[in-house]
Amino acid sequence: MRAGGMSGGAAPVEPQQRRDEDVGHRIPAGRAALSGLVATAAALGVVELLAGALGGVQSLVISVGDAAIDSVPGWLERAAIAALGTHDKPVLLTVVVLVCALLGAGLGLLARRRFAIAATGFVLFAGLGVAAALADPRGSALGTVLVGLLGAAVGVVLLHRLLAEARVPEPGAGGQQEGVASETDRRRFLLVAAGVTALAVAGGVGGWLLTGRERLGELRAAIRLPVPFRQAGPVSPGADLEIPGLTPLFVPNKEFYRIDTALRVPIVDPTTWHLEIRGRVDNPFTLTYGELMAMPQIEADITLSCVSNEVGGDLVGNARWQGVPLRPLLERAGLQDGATQLLGRSVDGFTAGFPTITALDLEEAMVAVAMNGEPLPAEHGFPARLVVPGLYGYVSATKWLSAIELTDWDVDGYWIPRGWAKEGPIKTSSRIDVPAPGSRVAAGRRPIAGVAWAPTRGIEGVEVRVDDGLWQQAELAERLDVDCWRQWYLPWDATPGRHVIAARATDGLGEVQTDERTPVAPDGASGYPVIEVVVEG
Ligand SMILES: Nc1nc2c(c(=O)[nH]1)N[C@H]1C(S)=C(S)[C@@H](COP(=O)(O)O)O[C@H]1N2
Ligand SMILES: [Mo]
């Protein structure tokens, strides 16, 4: 704060040497901070609106969040996912916006005395967002820089304007009541601030609405899926036990777990999308969506699991996938020596790699275009993703696929340097769904039921143990496919009291699910599920 004596001071100052705002006015800290905050909101609103309206420019807010996700150490990212689960994204976005608000308020305070420095701060601030957005392979560099500059300009101009509105008479400056704003003046300032904020929010919301989700919905609805040349088998009634509370054989798309690093679901326009097959191949080629859809397709029931799925967790699901098998694509490309890894690349820069031999061995490994009879939902990788039986998603299931790159084994996919194993075969697993873990149930005869999966190996048996009893063989639902999970159940005479129920699966190789508990990192949780229920008498 300036010394109060200066403006009413003895030394006369030439008018032309005095800045307008120095004459008998001061800006209260609260108003300055609010001005900075509102100017920041306006800058962000303009940026987000333009990013939504212009195809080639990514949202700067989202980009900063994405950059944060990509640059935090692996253990922190894992801890965040563990603590927040699927709420990690809204929480991160809120943090980014709050940090922006704080920075803006700080710049507002600074601008009272050092406007030029605050303005520079605004430009640097925008520069950070631009830098983050430039790291995204989807954005146009020029567009991103221009939008960032425009945002900074809007912020600086508005900050200047708002600070002018924010002034109140200095003590001793005469005229109005000393040092306090008149009521009309106060109202005017708040009105201007509220008006600009409303416009900023409208801009931000408009930007989100303009990202093409609507249009994508229409495009997806118009897609006609080709009839696969190899269809998955019919689902006999015995394959889905339909026990209340038991996870259905096919998890509906809307309920299918979603795991990815994308802060906002990538909206990919299939009319401009391409899939490149490149790297260590003799004949690299590119497919349009139309060309991909015109290729012979297969259908397969495959259970997909996340390596972060805890024992008993729900980051696992089963779907009927349809798509183009990988093997003919690789044969057409002509594999070169040393093409030992198949690296999927996503439009958003994510990568996942697995042994090429797996794609050649497994007929069901595919570029999937459909899930449970409809084109892939945006959340699950539209227009195309990889699905490989038996491998955790982090090494195989690249969504929003843009390239299949053949590399040697030294290239690492996204999660490998972040503390996860290079190879990610899905461990033989089971889960108890019924009775719900931790629930209270009535005494009497009732089923214990769940699912078990060991994609590529299949499930041969599930055993259940109640309290200190013997392991008992559960009934298995009919097998659809080795890649697909299997439901199981055991009738149980539930007696009053607290009970501990455990389950363990045996896969097609005769391997029994281990009782040895390991955490999810680095290569997936092991150990069989154990739940507790209270039976009421
Ligand atoms: N582009 C992209 N693809 C991705 C991921 C990602 O972060 N980005 N995550 C992978 C992981 S870790 C898993 S478990 C599966 C989850 O697929 P789903 O969201 O369709 O269930 O997607 C995989 N594909
Ligand atoms: Mo995952």
Q: What is the pLDDT of residue 71?
A: 84
Residue 26 belongs to what H/E stretch?
A: strand 25-26
Q: Does domain 429-536 have CATH number 1.10.1050.10?
A: no
Q: What is the pLDDT of residue 5?
A: 36
| Cβ(346) – ligand 1 distance below 6 Å | yes
Cis peptide leading into 266, omega within 30 of 0?
Answer: no
Mean pLDDT in runs of 10 for the chain (537 residues)?
Answer: 37 42 76 94 92 83 87 80 74 90 94 93 92 85 92 94 87 54 81 91 86 81 95 92 97 96 89 96 98 98 97 97 98 98 96 98 98 97 98 98 98 94 98 98 97 98 98 97 97 97 98 95 96 96
- Domain ranges within the chain, ordered by starting residue: 15-211, 237-418, 429-536
Q: How far apart are CA 305 and CA 423, in angstroms?
A: 14
| Cβ(350) – ligand 1 distance below 6 Å | yes
User: 28: closest CA among 228, 213, 185?
Assistant: 185
The protein residue whose alpha carbon is closest to atom 1 in ligand 1 is 399
Of all atoms in ligand 1, which is nearest to the CA of residue 317? 21
Q: What separation in angstroms does the CA of 519 have from each of 78, 242, 313, 315, 525?
A: 11, 31, 12, 15, 5
Other CB atoms within a 10 A radius of the CB of residue 294 amount to: 12
Q: What is the pLDDT of residue 87?
A: 75
Q: What is the pLDDT of residue 437?
A: 97
Q: What is the pLDDT of residue 181?
A: 57
Selected from 3.40.50.920, 3.90.420.10, 3.40.50.10440, 3.30.420.40, the CATH number assigned to the domain covering 237-418 reads 3.90.420.10
Copy the structure tokens of residue 310.
């805890």
Å from CA of 493 to ligand 1 middle: 41
The protein residue whose alpha carbon is closest to atom 9 in ligand 1 is 260
CA dihedral 116, 117, 120, 124 (to 10 degrees): -170
Q: How far apart are CA 463 and CA 253, in angstroms?
A: 30
> What is the b/e burial string over 162-184, where b = at least 16 CB atoms within 10 angstroms of the residue's CB?
bbebbbbbbeebeeeeeeebeee
Other CB atoms within a 10 A radius of the CB of residue 504 amount to: 22
Place of tokens 């080629």: 285
| Cβ(321) – ligand 1 distance below 6 Å | no
Q: What is the pLDDT of residue 519?
A: 95
Q: Which ligand is nearest to the CA of 385?
A: 1
Å from CA of 65 to ligand 2 middle: 19
The protein residue whose alpha carbon is closest to atom 4 in ligand 1 is 398
Q: What is the DSSP letter of 526?
A: B
User: 86: closest CA among 247, 263, 238?
Assistant: 263
Best mutation site among 342, 345, 399, 453 for ligand 1 pocket (most ligand atoms within 8 Å of CB): 399
Residue 378 belongs to what H/E stretch?
A: none
Beta-carbon contacts of residue 62 (< 8 Å; ≥ 6 apart): 93, 263, 264
Q: What is the pLDDT of residue 86?
A: 67
